[in-house]
A and B are shown apart, each in its own frame.
Chain A
Amino acid sequence: MKAYLTRRYLFSASHRLHSPEFSDSENRAVYGKCNNPHGHGHNYTLEVTVAGQVDAKTGMICDLVQLDTFVHQEVLERFGHEHLNALPPFADAVPTTENLSVELFRILSRFPQATLEKIRLEETMLNSFEYAGGAELKI
């Protein structure tokens, strides 16, 4: 039977929202405080949802130790305590949480043991983003 498992992880990173497409005053108008040249940080909460058949022998969709290890190596160690603007994926893209969600989905979809269904990224307690690789959410 097909089930969906969601695991939550935390990481902190800083960013500055600034687009070369806009003038300085447009950048301030569009991004507000997030345009501050010194950047600022967030404690992101990442929810990773994988889908798959529940294995009869283990009772699990996938090996949780392998999932944790993968997320630690590919996401938490690469993005945690970094300035997102300085990382390769954001050389040309503004590190909004939208763009970060798309990037994290792309990375996590390479997890070999289960299918990535979606990710959810909380930027603050008041803002969260979900991305399912372009698919509609299941509610």
Chain B
Amino acid sequence: MVYLTRKAEFSASHFYHNPEFTPEENRRLFGKCNNPNGHGHNYTLEVTVKGEVDPRSGFVVDLKQLKQVLEREVLSLLDHRFLNKEVPEFATAIPTTENLAISIWQKLQPKLEVARLHRVRLYETPDLFVDFYGEP
């Protein structure tokens, strides 16, 4: 089994707010991220896939295909978007790094044909990242 990681960058804006909480709770829990005007991040996404090396191509996965799937299923939907307003699942769910990593997994996993998705790692800033392995 060989693991392959592909990196991509995208920029998006968001804010954190749960209407069930009081304004004070929202501010305490979400801090500056609670500002309803939103704010942006340059996200770095690392997608790790795993599989056996194909004896003919020497590849675990055709990187060209992986790039296309990543572009079509993830980046085109998230890059330069206001997540709360333009990405359907975040009309209700809060676009935290955790939820965004899970959502990226769910977009990618059914579309990968050859290699299996192992991990989605999403950096919101260089000091904060989330890993998701598809665990329930």
Contact = CB atoms under 8 A, between A and B. Distances in A.
B127 A3 contact: no
A63 B16 CA distance: 13
Interface stretch (A51-59, A86-94, A101-109): A51-59
Nearest to B97: A5
- Interface size range of chain A in the complex: 20 to 34
B126 interface: yes
A91 to B, nearest CB: 32
Given A9-B127, A64-B31, 17 more contacts: A1-B132, A2-B135, A3-B130, A3-B132, A3-B135, A4-B130, A4-B131, A5-B97, A7-B127, A7-B128, A57-B18, A58-B18, A59-B16, A59-B95, A59-B96, A59-B98, A139-B119
30 contacts: A2-B133, A2-B135, A3-B101, A3-B131, A4-B132, A5-B97, A5-B98, A5-B128, A5-B130, A5-B131, A6-B129, A6-B130, A6-B131, A7-B127, A8-B127, A9-B127, A54-B96, A54-B102, A57-B20, A57-B21, A58-B96, A59-B16, A59-B94, A59-B98, A60-B96, A61-B98, A64-B31, A65-B29, A65-B31, A138-B133
